[in-house]
């Protein structure tokens, strides 16, 4: 380390070099999510044009070399010379951070992008990028490349051609951007048709009548045609609610839809109750999913309670001596989509998952209270009766569940002999350093107890499968012994009483066998955490442990393989005299093997559970864990690989091997 530290040691990164050197600051990760992030930056720019009334469609095409194009039909990026910088504006957009037309509200009344870094970051992290702008019968073209100097220094955003122009069809307008993510940044990651398709489907729901298409030139049919998906929903978020409620029995039909505007602020709401017991609220701001809610979601919940209580009083549905219903009574079995369009939104943190504008709460509450009341005043009696009957039943269930909730809250202060007999706690008293392994079976639990690091690792074995909470009322859920033990161990409470600040272990790890029963147990636990302890997931505390599938022994050498691919790699470098063991379950490992492969932070592989798409997670839970047998059958036949044993487990392990404690999957699967 240098002893003298002076002005000459200060390095100035020019242009987009900072993006290349620290890409995580701009896109979060250089994994597959980061690669999709630079695509979303371009898609969001096209959506901003549509949100402001320019164009009505977006087309995406994926090419065999993993390059990808996004075409919108908006105004087209400006191509004239910038009055100050003296270069074409399109060049500034792709080579200069914080260069854009969204810093004031003159060009865009609403926008998903605020910082002016999207297009330039995409360019900086691409091997090459071309932009075609179509304006008034002229096609303008410019190409950029990212390259490495001979000495190894990276220079990004280097312009390789001046802006060119040529005549084109006068009907053409908009922008087409084509780029190839740089393999020096993203490695061998490739674009996922399913990931992009799901996002476009979501955008189509949120923007009724807008057309989206996705073409994959990597997947050709027998006739040589590429794979294509198209989305357009004239019903907008009402269709979204119907989509989310497939497989559920609606209390009324169609969904309730209201919309209110005040200046440049627009709020849309669609909701419908079903015969289920949990609430599912999905909120968006300028098409950005706010998975952690925020002030707009708080305002909606207050508005729903206020409007229904006020209307119920006015119409004598709620009698004079009768208490008002609680908000949770009105939200039991509710599926709602809330979409806000606004200027100058403020998010808590860089992830844009929680809206922070304080003025939005009262604005949404007042607008939606009036809108819901107006709707109810025009609604048919059958709908009104269904709404309040649902609330009455929910209120009775809430009262009967009060005792069960009280038990759950008091579990932390009670001495539970069942828990003491099963759980092996750790000695550490710092939650941020402690881990809780929820282990399938007493046999594996016994090995884990002996092989663990007692200073920071606690073990909770499960004797049987916990209850599938998707099909049960809260009072029934809280009677299940396995679930009560988990609530007690975590110390956070449950459902509306959940408090993440009381979490005793900052890593909660599900450890189950890599077979069908183990997958079922994982699905049941993920469903419970998603429904009643979601902050455990959104806070980054929930993981899935990945035990090895094979043990290869050669003389004094022992190696473990976590999937078939890794097994073949090991066997290719192994002599003939070896023994191969296929683990059928965790219980087959002795304590030392379990520590070495699955518990030791230096060697183990964990998958962090995350919720990148709450709506898709909701639909998967309903499909896989709900009562809709036909939906589940269709999903299995469409997605399952019947030609390979344990295809789900092995695929997921293959995707995440060698990414120690850093990888993630969407919950639940």
Q: Hey, which residues are catalytic here?
A: 440, 513, 515, 517
Nearest to 94 by CA among 78, 117, 66: 117
Q: Residue 237: how many CA atoms within 13 Å on its side-chain side?
A: 23
Are the beta carbons of 303 and 365 closer than 8 angstroms? Answer: yes
What stretch of H or E contains 298?
A: helix 295-314
Q: What is the number of residues in the chain?
A: 669
Are the beta carbons of 323 and 388 closer than 8 angstroms? Answer: no
Q: Which two tokens stand for residue 657?
A: 């091997």
Are the beta carbons of 342 and 264 closer than 8 angstroms? Answer: yes
Contacts of 298 (CB under 8 A, 6+ apart): 361
Three-class SS string for 481-506? HHHHHHHHHHCCCCHHHCCHHHCCCC
Residues paired with residue 152 on neighbouring β-strands, in sequence order: none
Phi/psi at 401 (5° precision)? -90, -5
Q: Which two tokens stand for residue 438?
A: 């929820």
Query: How many angstroms separate the CA atoms of 352 and 111, rounded?
Result: 13
Measured over all CA atoms, what is the biggest interatomic distance in the chain, rounded to whole angstroms? 85
Residue with tokens 């609680």: 326
Nearest to 414 by CA among 483, 475, 484: 484
Are the beta carbons of 252 and 273 closer than 8 angstroms? Answer: yes
Query: How many angstroms separate the CA atoms of 141 and 577, rounded?
Result: 62
Are the beta carbons of 532 and 475 closer than 8 angstroms? Answer: no
Phi/psi at 148 (5° precision)? -115, 130
Q: Which two tokens stand for residue 468?
A: 């599938």
Phi/psi at 561 (5° precision)? -120, 135
């Amino acid at each position: 380390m240098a002893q003298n530290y002076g002005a000459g040691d200060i390095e100035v990164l020019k242009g987009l070099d900072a993006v290349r050197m620290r890409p995580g600051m701009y896109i979060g990760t250089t994994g597959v999510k980061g690669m999709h992030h630079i695509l979303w930056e371009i898609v969001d720019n096209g959506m901003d044009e549509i949100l402001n009334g320019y164009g009505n469609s977006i087309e995406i095409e994926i090419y065999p070399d993993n390059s990808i194009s996004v075409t919108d039909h908006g105004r087209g990026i400006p191509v004239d010379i910038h009055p100050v910088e003296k270069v074409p504006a399109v060049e500034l957009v792709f080579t200069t951070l914080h260069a854009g037309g969204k810093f004031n509200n003159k060009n865009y009344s609403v926008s998903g992008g605020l910082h002016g870094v999207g297009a330039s970051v995409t360019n900086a992290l691409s091997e090459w990028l071309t932009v075609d702008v179509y304006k008034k019968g002229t096609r303008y073209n410019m190409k950029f490349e990212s390259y490495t100097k001979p000495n190894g220094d990276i220079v990004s955003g280097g312009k390789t051609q001046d802006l060119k122009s040529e005549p084109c069809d006068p009907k053409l307008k908009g922008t087409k951007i084509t780029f190839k993510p740089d393999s020096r940044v993203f490695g061998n990651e490739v674009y996922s048709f399913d990931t992009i398709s799901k996002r476009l489907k979501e955008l189509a729901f949120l923007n009724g009548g807008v057309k989206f298409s996705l073409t994959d030139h990597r997947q050709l049919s027998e006739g040589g045609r590429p794979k294509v998906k198209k989305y357009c929903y004239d019903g907008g978020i009402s269709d979204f609610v119907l989509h989310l409620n497939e497989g559920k029995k609606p209390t009324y039909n169609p969904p309730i839809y209201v919309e209110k505007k005040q200046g440049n602020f627009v709020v849309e709401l669609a909701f419908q109750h079903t015969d289920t017991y949990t609430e599912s609220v999905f909120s968006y701001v300028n098409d950005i999913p706010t998975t952690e809610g925020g002030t707009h979601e708080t305002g909606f919940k207050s508005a729903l309670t206020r409007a229904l209580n006020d209307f119920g009083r006015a119409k004598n549905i709620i009698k004079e001596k009768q208490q008002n219903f609680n908000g949770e009574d009105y939200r039991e079995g509710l599926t709602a989509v809330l979409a806000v369009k606004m200027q100058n939104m403020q998010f808590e943190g860089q992830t844009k998952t929680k809206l922070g504008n304080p003025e939005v709460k009262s604005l949404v509450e007042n607008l939606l209270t009036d809108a819901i009341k107006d709707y109810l005043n025009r609604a048919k009696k059958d709908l009104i009766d269904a709404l309040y009957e649902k609330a009455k039943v929910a209120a009775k269930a809430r009262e009967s569940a009060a005792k069960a909730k009280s038990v759950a809250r008091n579990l932390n202060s009670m001495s539970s002999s069942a828990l003491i007999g099963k759980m092996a706690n750790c000695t550490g008293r710092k939650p941020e350093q402690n881990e809780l392994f929820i282990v399938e079976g007493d046999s594996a639990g016994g090995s884990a107890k002996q092989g663990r690091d007692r200073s920071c690792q606690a073990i909770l074995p499960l004797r049987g499968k916990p209850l599938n909470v998707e099909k049960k009322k809260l009072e029934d859920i809280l009677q299940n012994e396995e679930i009560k033990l988990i609530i007690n161990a975590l110390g956070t409470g449950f459902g509306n009483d959940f408090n993440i600040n009381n979490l005793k272990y900052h890593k909660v790890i599900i450890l189950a066998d890599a077979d069908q029963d183990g997958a079922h147990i994982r699905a049941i636990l993920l469903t419970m955490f998603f429904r009643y302890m979601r902050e455990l997931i959104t806070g980054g505390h929930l993981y899935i442990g990945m035990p090895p599938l094979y043990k290869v022994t050669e003389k004094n050498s022992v190696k473990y393989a976590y999937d078939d691919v890794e097994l073949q790699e090991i066997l290719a470098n192994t002599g003939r005299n070896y023994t191969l063991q296929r683990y059928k379950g965790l219980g087959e490992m002795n304590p030392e093997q379990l520590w070495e492969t699955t518990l030791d932070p230096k060697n183990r592989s964990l998958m962090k559970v995350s919720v990148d798409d709450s709506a898709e997670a909701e639909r998967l839970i309903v499909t896989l864990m709900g009562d809709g047998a036909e939906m589940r059958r269709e999903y299995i036949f469409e997605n399952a690989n019947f030609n390979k044993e344990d295809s789900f487990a092995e695929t997921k392990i293959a995707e995440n091997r060698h990414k120690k404690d850093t990888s993630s999957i969407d919950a639940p699967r």
